[in-house]
């Protein structure tokens, strides 16, 4: 029978649009903004228009109820709990970014800027629910392509042009590698549907390991490694973070990371309903590869961040280091097939909590930098923040909260995230042949790294409160950015004091982890 005549397949394919309505709203708004932007260019207008689009998307996401498509092996979109989590994360971050980027937008580029931002966010949300290699690739490119424009758009200075060109070239390279990997996956399994690929590979690899599938997944890891800034695919990060507009960097530091980690978890089969059987379990050495990637990434990120005087380069390496911490989640999650008992903290839920916390603190730090930067007094080096404690007490307080959270101090969201990741690694099973005590070692290495990290974050706090400025920081009028920074600081503190709701949401977003915890404790 020709597959398309199967009624379930038809039902699945026609029902797809209902599953991506909020994304359609976002991209539709973006198209409207692009089109009308050539007629009227007012910052306020497009700010409000985009905000309206985001709100409508949120309402649609909240109102429209969706069920699982009847035939998963042909469905290009999977509306599962993880997808829901990522969608809400994307929509909320869209609203935050609209506020954060306020001073960077001017009347000539407002429409393009906000349009690109909406498309990027829609891309992130789509990555969360892509169940097909083609949808996934499309969603990832929906993030990359607007980013090229955004990097170039706000300031056409030489450093920013250089940064944009570097990012463009290297991103294209990584996309090529990704496509290469995808083509192998297609070649091995004969389908582009992820559910079918994972099911097929799980069965096939359990009998006899297919080296081709392994090559494919290594290429995918390498390509996604570029998006999450994992070593050695991180090289663009410091140069791009330094040269590009701060608001765009804030997006670049957060959105591709969310997309990258979710995509990787999806492809590695960590988000399926049966994560006890993975296509790439410990016998395929993929967890070991991820382990090495995590260790190298966090160590190189932290060590190089130590040497930076430029605060943006410092934050770039810090984002590399945090990518390393987050990789722990994937390592732990891919150990589940070997677990005899049920681990207290799963890998992916810890990763999701960490992504949220990381987003709040990193975007917040960039928001503070953006707020304080004016054309005649830019904030470049760490020393430019000197005396901020006196001149801008609330801004400095927010920055201190972000830095403490990046260190992982208790009572900040960063601590909750690190705690879950480390506990996950510490309680992961150590009885497989390849991994042995590597999980505990990983937790220890991560803790040592966190200690190294404390040095350069604390330096920022020290400079802000203990040094007096040569030239005091400018008094900025970018109120929306300031509001966003303070709100993010409040968010960081709130989920530091009371991380339970966030934890619960993340646990719900990962089917198996929820089951294991309820079985054990409550």
Partner 1 sequence: MYDPLGLAFTILGLLLGATVLTALLSGTVVLKRAAHWPLIIACGTSAVLAILLLLQVWKAGTVPRFVSDPITWFAAGKLTASVSLVVDPLSSIMLAMITFIATWIAIFSSGYMREGHRIDRGYVRYFAVMGLFVFSMCGLVLANNFLLLMGFWEGVGLCSYLLIGYYYDKPSAAAAARKAFLVTRLGDIGFLLGIFLLWKVGGWNTDLTALFDHIQKSPPDPTTLTTACLLLFCGAVGKSAQFPLYVWLPDAMEGPTPVSALIHAATMVTAGVYLIARCAPLFALVPDAQLVVAWIGGITAALAAFIAVAQTDLKRVLAYSTVSQLGYMFIALGTMGAVSPLFAVTAAMFHLFTHAFFKALLFLASGSVMHAMGNVIDMRRFGGLRRVMPVTHLTFLCGALALAGVPVLSGFWSKDMILEALQFGSAGAHANAGSFYALLLIALATAGLTAFYTFRAYFLTFWGETRVPEEAGHHAHESPSSMVFPLLVLAVGAIGVGVVAGPATHWFGDFLARTPSLRQAATIVGVAEPAPHFNWGIAGVSTLLALGGVGLAGLAYGNGGPERVPVAIEPVFTLSRNKLYVDEVYSALLVRPIEWLGAMARVFDQFLDALARLISAVPGFLGGLIRPIQNGLVQFYALAMALGLAVFLSFVVFLISR
The residues binding partner 1 (CB under 8 A) are 165-166, 169-170, 173-174, 177, 209, 211, 214-215, 218-219, 221-222, 225-226, 231-233, 235-236, 238-239, 284-286, 288-289, 292, 300, 302-304, 306-307, 344-345, 416, 419-420, 423, 427, 452, 455, 498-500, 503, 521
Q: Which is nearer to partner 1, 17 or 498 (CB)?
A: 498
Shortest spacing between CB 99 and partner 1, in angstroms: 26
Residue 404 half-sphere exposure toward CB, CA atoms < 13 A: 17
CA-to-CA distance for 91 and 96, rounded, in angstroms?
Answer: 9
Tell which residue, 373, 448, 336, has the closest CA to residue 103: 373
Q: Concatenated DSSP letters for 333-373?
A: HTTGGG-SS--SS-HHHHHHHHHHHHHHHHHHHHHHHHHH-
CA-to-CA distance for 316 and 80, rounded, in angstroms?
Answer: 32
Q: Which is nearer to partner 1, 3 or 159 (CB)?
A: 159
Handedness of CA 430, 433, 435, 438 (dihedral sign): positive
Q: Which is nearer to partner 1, 36 or 452 (CB)?
A: 452
Q: Which is nearer to partner 1, 26 or 300 (CB)?
A: 300
Shortest spacing between CB 330 and partner 1, in angstroms: 15
The number of angstroms, rounded, from the C-alpha of 251 to the middle of its chain's C-alpha atoms is 9
Q: Which is nearer to partner 1, 300 or 460 (CB)?
A: 300
Shortest spacing between CB 6 and partner 1, in angstroms: 37
Q: Which is nearer to partner 1, 39 or 519 (CB)?
A: 519
Shortest spacing between CB 482 and partner 1, in angstroms: 20
CB atoms within 10 A of CB 74: 21
Tell which residue, 292, 400, 420, has the closest CA to residue 356: 420
Q: Respond yes or no on whether the N-terminal peptide bond of residue 515 is cis (omega within 30° of 0).
A: no
Shortest spacing between CB 497 and partner 1, in angstroms: 8
Shortest spacing between CB 503 and partner 1, in angstroms: 8
Query: Tokens 């997309």 identify what position?
Result: 259
Tell which residue, 222, 233, 219, has the closest CA to residue 186: 219
- φ/ψ of residue 381, rounded to 5: -90, 165
Shortest spacing between CB 292 and partner 1, in angstroms: 8
CA-to-CA distance for 473 and 371, rounded, in angstroms?
Answer: 10
Shortest spacing between CB 256 and partner 1, in angstroms: 15
CA angle 286, 291, 296 (to 5 degrees): 125
140, 317, 433, 461, 469 from 413: Cα distances, Å: 28, 20, 35, 18, 30
CA-to-CA distance for 445 and 451, rounded, in angstroms?
Answer: 10
Shortest spacing between CB 431 and partner 1, in angstroms: 19
Tell which residue, 414, 417, 463, 448, has the closest CA to residue 311: 463
Q: Which is nearer to partner 1, 75 or 305 (CB)?
A: 305
Q: Which is nearer to partner 1, 36 or 409 (CB)?
A: 409
Say if residue 269 is exposed, middle or buried (CB neighbours under 10 Å; 0-12, 13-18, 19+).
Answer: buried
85, 184, 204 from 211: Cα distances, Å: 34, 11, 11
CA-to-CA distance for 241 and 249, rounded, in angstroms?
Answer: 6
Q: Which is nearer to partner 1, 55 or 292 (CB)?
A: 292
Q: Which is nearer to partner 1, 54 or 282 (CB)?
A: 282
Q: Which is nearer to partner 1, 84 or 496 (CB)?
A: 496
Shortest spacing between CB 465 and partner 1, in angstroms: 20
CA-to-CA distance for 413 and 364, rounded, in angstroms?
Answer: 13
Shortest spacing between CB 102 and partner 1, in angstroms: 29
Q: Which is nearer to partner 1, 90 or 348 (CB)?
A: 348
Shortest spacing between CB 312 and partner 1, in angstroms: 14
**Residue 234: DSSP 8-state:** -
Q: Identify the three-state secondary structure at position 66.
A: coil
């Amino acid at each position: 029978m020709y597959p398309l005549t199967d009624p379930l397949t038809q039902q699945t394919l026609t029902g797809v649009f209902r599953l991506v309505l909020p994304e359609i709203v976002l991209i539709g708004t973006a198209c409207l903004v692009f089109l009308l932007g050539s007629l009227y260019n007012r910052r306020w207008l497009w700010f409000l228009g985009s905000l309206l689009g985001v709100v409508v998307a949120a309402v649609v996401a909240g109102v429209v109820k969706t069920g699982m498509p009847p035939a998963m092996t042909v469905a290009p979109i999977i509306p599962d709990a993880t997808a829901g989590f990522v969608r809400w994360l994307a929509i909320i971050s869209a609203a935050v970014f609209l506020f954060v980027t306020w001073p960077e937008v001017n009347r000539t580029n407002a429409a393009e800027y906000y349009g690109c931002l909406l498309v990027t966010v829609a891309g992130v949300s789509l990555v969360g629910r892509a169940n097909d290699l083609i949808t996934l690739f499309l969603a990832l490119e929906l993030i990359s392509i607007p980013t090229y424009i955004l990097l170039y758009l706000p300031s056409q200075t030489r450093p920013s042009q250089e940064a944009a060109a570097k990012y463009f070239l290297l991103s294209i390279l990584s996309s090529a590698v990704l496509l290469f990997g995808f083509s192998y996956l297609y070649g091995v399994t004969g389908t582009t549907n992820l559910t079918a690929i994972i099911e097929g590979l799980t069965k096939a690899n359990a009998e006899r390991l297919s080296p081709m599938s392994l090559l494919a997944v290594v290429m995918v890891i390498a390509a996604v490694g570029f998006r999450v800034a994992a070593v050695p695919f991180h090289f663009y990060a410091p140069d791009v973070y330094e040269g590009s507009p701060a608001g765009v960097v804030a997006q670049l530091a957060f959105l591709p990371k969310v997309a990258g980690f979710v995509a990787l978890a999806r492809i590695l089969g960590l988000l399926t309903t049966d994560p006890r059987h993975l296509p790439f379990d410990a016998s395929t050495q993929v967890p070991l590869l991820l382990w090495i990637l995590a260790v190298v990434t966090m160590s190189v990120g932290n060590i190089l961040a130590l040497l930076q005087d430029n605060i943006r380069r410092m934050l770039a390496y810090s984002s590399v280091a945090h990518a390393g911490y987050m990789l722990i989640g994937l390592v732990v999650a891919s150990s589940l097939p070997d677990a005899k008992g049920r681990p207290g903290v799963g890998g992916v839920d810890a990763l999701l909590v960490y992504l949220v916390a990381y987003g709040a603190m990193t975007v917040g730090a960039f928001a503070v930098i953006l707020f304080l930067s004016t054309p005649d007094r830019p904030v470049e080096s760490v020393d430019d923040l000197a005396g901020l404690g006196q001149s801008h007490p609330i801004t400095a307080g927010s920055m201190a909260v972000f830095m403490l959270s990046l260190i992982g101090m208790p009572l900040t969201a960063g601590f909750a995230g690190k705690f879950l990741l480390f506990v996950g690694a510490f309680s992961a099973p150590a009885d497989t042949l390849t991994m042995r005590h590597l999980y505990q070692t990983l937790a220890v290495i991560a803790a040592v790294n966190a200690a190294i990290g404390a040095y350069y974050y604390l330096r920022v706090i020290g400079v802000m409160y203990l040094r007096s400025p040569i030239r005091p920081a400018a008094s900025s009028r970018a109120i929306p950015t300031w509001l966003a920074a303070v709100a993010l600081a409040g968010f960081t503190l709130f989920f530091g004091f009371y991380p339970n709701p966030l934890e619960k949401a993340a646990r719900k977003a990962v089917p198996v982890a929820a089951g294991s915890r309820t079985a054990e404790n409550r």
